[in-house]
Structures are given as C-alpha cells and as structure tokens.
A = this chain, B = another copy of it.
Amino acid sequence: MAVRALRAAVAGASGYAGGEVLRLLLGHPGIEVGVLTGNSSAGQRLGGLQPHLVPLADRVLAETTAEALAGHDVVFLALPHGQSAAVAEQLGDEVLVVDMGADFRLKDAGDWERFYGSAHAGTWPYGLPELPGGRAALAGSKRIAVPGCYPTAVSLALFPAYAAGLAEPEAVITAASGTSGAGKAAKPHLLGSEVMGSMSPYGVGGGHRHTPEMIQNLSAAAGEPVTVSFTPTLAPMARGILATCSVKARPGTTAQDVRAAYEKAFDDEPFVRLLPEGQWPATASVYGSNAAQIQVAYDGTARRIIAISAIDNLTKGTAGGAVQSMNIALGIPEDTGLSTIGVAP
C-alpha cells in the first residue's frame, strides 16, 4: 500500500454519487478524504446531509471552486452533466480527475450534442476495466470518465457475446433501476409515495442518454455497428440495476459456445461473477458491493441469447467503478478498498 495516503477531494459530496464515493474512500487504506464541496449545500455539515457517513459528520462543505479543490492528488467530480469540464481544466494535469458525470464518456461529438444538447467537452479514458483493452486505457491515466450505471450493467452482460462473434448486431434491452439512479433532487414522481409498489418505464423508444454509450461499447466489442433498443424502468427499491439483454444468436451458435464465451470473459475478473448454471442474479446479492453478477441463457427455440446482470448502481455502477478505475490509474491493487460482498438480506 502507498507509504503516504493520497488526498482525495469530492466535488458534489451531498448527492448520492458523492456520498457513495465517500463511503468507499473511508474504507480505502491508500486515501485520505480531503475537501468536500457542494453547491446549494455549501456551508452545511455533512452529518445532516449524509447521516450514514458518521466519521465525516462534522465536515462542512465548501463551495465547488478550483481553489477549494486545489492541492489534492485525486479529485472526484459528482456534478450535474455539463459542469465537469470547466472544473477539470483548472485542476492541472498532474491531478487525477475522476468524472462520475457523463461529460467525457462519448467519443462521438455528434452523439453528445444530440443527446445532451450542448457542446462536446472531449473524451477521457473510460472506466470500465472489464471491457477488452479496458485496463490498458486506464493505467497511468490522469483523467477517467466513469461509465453510466446502465451502460456498466449492459456492457458487462453483452460484450462477451459480441466479442466472441456470437450475436447479431441488434440488442434489445430492458433494465430495472433503483430510484437512487435518478438522484437526490426532489421531484414529485420520485417521492416514496409514488415509487413504492410501482414499476414504470421512462425514456422509451431510444431517448435515454445512456443509449449511445451502450452502442459505443457494444460496437467496439463487436467490431461492427450495433443497434440498441433500450427501455429503462424504475423499480421500487433504492439501489440496484437488473439488466435483461437479449440478442439474436448468429446461425450455428450453440449453448456451449455461449457459456464458453462468458467463462472466458470473466474467469479472471475480480468483480464480475458468472453464476453457476441454474442460478440467477439478484440485485440484493450485490447491495453495496462492487460485484456484478451475470448469468446467460441460450433459448434455442427463439435462437436468442439472454444475458442478465445485476449490479449496485451506486457502487459498481458509479462510485465503485470510479474507485476501481482510480486504483488502476494509480497502479495500486485493483480491489483496494472494494468488496465483492453484498449486504443481504
């Protein structure tokens, strides 16, 4: 472990992504938690905003400025989309900046502009180490774009099928997410009274901003353009994503081919667990952990591969993926401060 702990700042410490990265950093032996910043919450005690982070209860949030964030080895950005670039460019090239927002995820400027409606800020190394070439892109980097939570769940579930050449390039995906994926801003449709006991879709028909990111990842794995029809749904739970991903198998594909492709992809992965045949992922099993649980079935009648993943949207889907990628960038063991053990039941 590092002789000297590195100091990490968190911009946007009052939100769910910021809170989760702090939860993980408090258990990371190589990191010392530095300055915390907020926007409307600047000046408040963290204890009132994130009452579960007991060791930081008396910390007071600073305003999110370059001055406040200066002097750290690592800066985590948990800011609204479109705000990371302005902060990042003031931080200096020697600082490791980990952006948990969307700004630097997409390679195609046109995609960015179409889905986010603003000018494209650029592209940073992508924080999903399990993808082909993923670790190499992160090693030693000073900038990391943490993937979206849905693209993490979906890309892990489907890239093995595409990388092995087993799937037709049209993916049909439905994912259920816990409400924390929608953030902490108070909106009527996110009230407990509205979401408890209810499942509902949103962004149906291609409009969700995570769609181009999935296309980018799966097309890279396939070596050809893949279309994605993605339907997200809101589930009555605080955390977790269950992604059900269906692709037509190429002619001649067998169940053994499919299993072999997934075993090859994940056998050496520290955080991805391909379940034994017959066992299915559940979001409860990865609650609060950095693990992804994956299972895949081949439906010979419909000739389709159905791959299903379960992650914690805030951990592996956001802050855990961020810490995992940070570890790689810093050259320390990838699982430092992270766990595959969920909090269940």
A residues sitting closer than 8 Å to B (CB atoms) are 16, 19, 23, 26-27, 47-48, 50-55, 57, 170, 172, 174, 176, 178-180, 182, 184-188, 190-202, 204-206, 227-229, 231, 233, 235-240, 242, 244, 246, 248, 273, 275-276, 279-289, 291, 293, 295, 297-302, 304, 306, 308, 310, 339-345
Q: Is the CB of B196 within 8 A of A196?
A: yes
Q: Is the CB of A205 within 8 A of B299?
A: yes
A-B contact list, 26 entries, CB within 8 Å: A27-B339, A50-B344, A51-B275, A52-B284, A54-B273, A54-B289, A55-B340, A55-B341, A178-B193, A179-B193, A184-B191, A186-B186, A186-B190, A196-B197, A197-B238, A197-B287, A198-B240, A198-B287, A199-B242, A199-B283, A204-B295, A205-B298, A231-B306, A233-B242, A235-B236, A288-B288
Closest-by-CB residue of B relative to A176 is B199
Closest-by-CB residue of B relative to A286 is B52
A174 to B231: give the CA distance in the assembly, Å: 10
Of the residues B202, B283, B287, contact of A200 by C-beta under 8 Å: B283
Of the residues B19, B196, B273, B298, contact of A238 by C-beta under 8 Å: B196
Q: Is the CB of B200 within 8 A of A282?
A: yes
Of the residues B23, B199, B244, contact of A235 by C-beta under 8 Å: B199
A288 to B54: give the CA distance in the assembly, Å: 13
Q: Which chain B residues border A293 with CB–CB below 8 Å?
A: 51
Q: Is the CB of B197 within 8 A of A195?
A: no
A176 to B308: give the CA distance in the assembly, Å: 14
> With contacts A233-B242, A285-B52, A344-B52 known, is A280 near B190, CB below 8 A?
no
> With contacts A280-B202, A301-B206 known, is A52 near B192, CB below 8 A?
no
Q: Is the CB of B197 within 8 A of A279?
A: no
Of the residues B27, B55, B237, contact of A198 by C-beta under 8 Å: B237
A51 to B189: give the CA distance in the assembly, Å: 12
Q: Is the CB of B201 within 8 A of A23?
A: no
> With contacts A186-B191, A302-B206, A304-B229 known, is A48 near B279, CB below 8 A?
yes
Q: Is the CB of B235 within 8 A of A193?
A: no
A188 to B52: give the CA distance in the assembly, Å: 16
Q: Is the CB of B280 within 8 A of A204?
A: yes
